[in-house]
């Protein structure tokens, strides 16, 4: 490890520890007055368990924001190979490989046409080949898929289609089968998901970066959500886009050559990936579902670099169209990430590689802890505890926790408001402020219900709940009250019970818990409203949470 990256990591750890100490001291100051009850001790223990993720979020956001505001070229500041990248035709050959399974080809193929036609128009056709890698089971869907691709391929000599008869190893197995059987003469591949889209300029930049440094195995580009018509993805991806910009910049600064891989919208060097990323089944015989982080750690463990390009220009994906679809995907990711417990003790990993796996688990481990804290707080209030709790310090603790948890988004919003050119492509500061207010209200209503759903899932996981990789809904659709009730009655019921408990304790306890309780109590109408066509149309008409891609004529 070089001295600069070691110093960066020490600095980052010191910052994160300082944030944790601040949170811990504040929590003790809130809970200690009047003596400790059993419930207060358990609340503190649960809070300590949530602090690593809170500190990580806040520290990444602070470092990322500082770089994005102070560096002349923030992206090159954390990705040196970008400065070395040479414009012009690529020296090697690259496959654009997209994994599909039971997808609507009318949605999948147009973005691929734009990409491949754009590369051909730039005289780069000989440097790229398109591969559609299907895991669609035999049947009518497979026949329709093949017919659509054959029609798409007419006049396109760069288009290749392969469908596996057996979906062994899920997506990771699909990719490795392609590399084993069809990658002869190729140097790199750009991995796409069925909902991914990349521009020719973005792909050419990735190729130039990976060719500039022969030790880079993966360059993972930042990804933003495509312009969405439905309210839920529109609101969600506005916050995600601006939060990820600060997060990824800060993370790239201290992780350096041992960065993450998110499974798509990335370029990969074929030989090391094929040699080191072949994933065996877990000890229980199941397949690794969240394969991407594991593949990254395998490469860095043997000296290859995995770098992040913290810029989302020309790199997008579609987000789930409804709250229900989002939670379903979220729980699938949670099940995949928790498999990493079985991998932490494997030999031959760097400490950073192990941290990448721990970090992926922390994303979901906090959910049951936050829900436990809420339940314990209700029990403590009902049993007479907390009578001496200083209300002002409690409010300060809640605010500090909220700020840390959402620090990446808030840092992204600060950058958006500070930089006039960036605000201009989002409609100007007034539009930005309206969108920020809408997104914060949206997240405040969504997040506790989401955490409750994660918690119930995490509690059931050790008792044999099985997780699989199933096709996800990508089409806009309304959500009926009955469907919303079937999925979100558990958080609603939990909200009712907790509201009664806090109300019985005291009006003040109910008031302090109300921001969280509202999310639980309103989970069902929230799911219906954020999929409603009329509400979605109103957001679009008012240009709330609009993205620059919706208004290509806007400039800074």
DSSP calls for 63-86: HHHHHHHH-SSHHHHH-THHHHPP
How sure is the predictor about 155, in pLDDT bands with cuts at 50, 70 and 90?
Answer: confident
Residue 28, Cβ neighbours under 10 Å: how many? 14
First and final C-alpha spacing in the chain: 40
Residue whose C-alpha is closest to residue 545's, from 377, 418, 379, 431: 431
| CA triple 343-175-348, angle to 5 deg | 30
* Token duo for residue 239: 């916050």
How sure is the predictor about 330, in pLDDT bands with cuts at 50, 70 and 90?
Answer: confident
321, pLDDT greater than 80: yes
pLDDT of the residue at 476: 60
Query: Are the C-beta atoms of 98 and 132 separated by less than 8 Å?
Result: yes
DSSP calls for 309-333: E---TTEEEPPPSSHHHHHHHHHHH
Q: Which residue has the higher pLDDT, 509 or 553?
A: 509
Phi, psi for 160 (deg, rounded to 5) = -130, 145
Give percent of the chain with pLDDT exceeding 70. 96
Distances (CA, A) of 226 to 74, 233, 321, 473, 555: 24, 9, 11, 15, 19
Residue whose C-alpha is closest to residue 39's, from 519, 520, 509: 509
Q: Which residue has the higher pLDDT, 338 or 134?
A: 134
| CA triple 368-370-373, angle to 5 deg | 105
pLDDT of the residue at 462: 62
Helix (H, G, I), strand (E, B) or coil at 553: coil
C-alpha dihedral over 448, 449, 453, 454, to 10 degrees? Answer: -30
Tell me which DSSP letter residue 478 carries. -
- pLDDT, one tens digit per residue, over 504-549 is 999 999 999 999 999 999 999 999 999 999 999 999 999 999 999 8
31, pLDDT greater than 70: yes
Query: Are the C-beta atoms of 422 and 556 separated by less than 8 Å?
Result: yes
Q: Between 481-505 and 323-338, two packed helices, what is the crossing angle to 10 degrees?
A: 70
pLDDT of the residue at 329: 87
- Partnered with residue 190 across adjacent β-strands are 96, 267
281, pLDDT greater than 70: yes
Q: What number is the average pLDDT over the span 142-155?
A: 94
Give percent of the chain with pLDDT exceeding 90. 77
Tell me which DSSP letter residue 258 carries. B
How sure is the predictor about 347, in pLDDT bands with cuts at 50, 70 and 90?
Answer: confident
Residue 514, Cβ neighbours under 10 Å: how many? 13
- pLDDT, one tens digit per residue, over 421-431 is 999 999 899 99
How sure is the predictor about 170, in pLDDT bands with cuts at 50, 70 and 90?
Answer: confident
Q: Between 231-255 and 407-418, two packed helices, what is the crossing angle to 10 degrees?
A: 90
pLDDT of the residue at 478: 83
Residues of the chain with CATH 3.90.550.10: 74-340
Query: Are the C-beta atoms of 201 and 294 separated by less than 8 Å?
Result: no
Q: What number is the average pLDDT over the span 351-365?
A: 88
pLDDT of the residue at 475: 53
Give the chain's mean pLDDT: 92
Q: How far apart are CA 140 and CA 147, in angstroms?
A: 11
Strands (E), 28-173: 94-100, 128-134, 159-163
Q: How far apart are CA 121 and CA 188, in angstroms?
A: 21
Distances (CA, A) of 265 to 116, 195, 262: 15, 10, 8
Query: Are the C-beta atoms of 124 and 204 separated by less than 8 Å?
Result: yes
| CA triple 410-44-15, angle to 5 deg | 45
Q: How far apart are CA 396 and CA 399, in angstroms?
A: 5
| CA triple 29-34-40, angle to 5 deg | 65
161, pLDDT greater than 60: yes
CA within 13 Å, CB half, 460: 12
Quick one: how far is CA 255 from the chain centroid?
A: 17
Helix (H, G, I), strand (E, B) or coil at 344: coil
* Token duo for residue 348: 């031959």
pLDDT of the residue at 469: 46
Tell me which DSSP letter residue 137 carries. P
Q: What number is the average pLDDT over the span 306-333?
A: 93
- Specify the CATH number of the domain 74-340: 3.90.550.10
């Amino acid at each position: 490890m070089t001295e600069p990256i070691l110093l960066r990591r020490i600095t980052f750890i010191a910052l994160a520890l300082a944030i944790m100490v601040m949170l811990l001291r504040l929590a003790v100051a809130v809970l200690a007055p009047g003596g400790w009850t059993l419930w207060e001790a358990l609340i503190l223990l649960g809070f300590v368990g949530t602090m690593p993720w809170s500190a990580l979020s806040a520290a990444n956001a602070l470092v990322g924001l500082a770089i994005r505001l102070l560096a002349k070229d923030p992206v090159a500041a954390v990705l040196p190979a970008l400065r070395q990248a040479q414009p012009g035709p690529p020296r090697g050959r690259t496959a654009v490989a997209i994994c599909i399974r039971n997808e609507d080809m009318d949605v999948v193929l147009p973005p691929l046409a734009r990409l491949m036609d754009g590369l051909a128009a730039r005289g780069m056709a000989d440097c790229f080949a398109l591969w559609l890698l299907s895991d669609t089971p035999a049947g009518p869907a497979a026949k329709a898929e093949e017919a659509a691709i054959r029609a798409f391929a007419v006049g396109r000599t760069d288009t290749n289609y392969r469908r596996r008869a057996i979906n062994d190893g899920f997506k990771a197995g699909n990719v490795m089968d392609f590399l084993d059987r069809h990658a002869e003469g190729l140097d790199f591949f750009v991995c796409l998901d069925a909902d991914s889209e990349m521009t020719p300029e973005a792909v050419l930049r990735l190729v130039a970066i990976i060719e500039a440094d022969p030790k880079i195995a993966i360059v993972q580009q930042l990804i933003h959500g495509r312009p969405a018509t439905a309210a839920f993805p529109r609101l969600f991806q506005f916050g995600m886009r601006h939060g990820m910009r600060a997060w990824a910049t800060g993370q790239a600064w201290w992780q350096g050559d041992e960065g993450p891989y998110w499974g798509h919208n990335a370029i990969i060097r074929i030989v090391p990936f094929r040699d080191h990323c072949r994933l065996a089944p877990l000890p229980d015989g199941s397949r690794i579902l969240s394969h991407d982080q594991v593949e990254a750690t395998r490469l860095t463990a043997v000296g290859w670099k995995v770098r992040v390009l913290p810029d989302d220009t020309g790199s997008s994906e579609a987000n789930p169209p409804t709250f229900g679809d989002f939670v379903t995907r979220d729980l699938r990711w949670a099940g995949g990430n928790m498999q990493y417990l079985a991998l932490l003790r494997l030999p031959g990993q760097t400490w950073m590689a192990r941290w990448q796996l721990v970090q992926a688990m922390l994303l979901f481990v906090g959910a049951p802890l936050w829900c436990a804290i809420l339940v314990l707080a209700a029990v403590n209030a009902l049993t007479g505890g907390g009578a001496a709790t200083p209300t002002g310090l409690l409010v300060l603790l809640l605010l500090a926790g909220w700020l840390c948890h959402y620090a990446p988004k808030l840092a992204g919003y600060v950058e958006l408001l500070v930089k006039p050119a960036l605000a201009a492509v989002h409609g100007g500061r007034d539009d930005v402020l309206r969108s920020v207010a809408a997104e914060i209200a949206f997240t405040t209503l969504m997040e506790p219900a989401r955490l409750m759903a994660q918690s119930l899932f995490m509690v059931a996981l050790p008792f044999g709940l099985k997780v699989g990789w199933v096709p996800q809904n990508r089409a806009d659709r309304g959500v009926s009250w009955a469907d919303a009730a079937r999925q979100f009655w558990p958080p609603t019921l939990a909200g009712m019970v907790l509201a009664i408990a806090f109300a019985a304790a005291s009006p003040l306890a109910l008031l302090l818990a109300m921001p969280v309780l509202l999310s639980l109590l309103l989970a069902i109408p929230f799911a219906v409203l954020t999929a409603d066509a009329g509400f979605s149309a109103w957001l679009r008409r008012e240009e709330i949470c609009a993205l620059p891609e919706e208004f290509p004529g806007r400039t800074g």
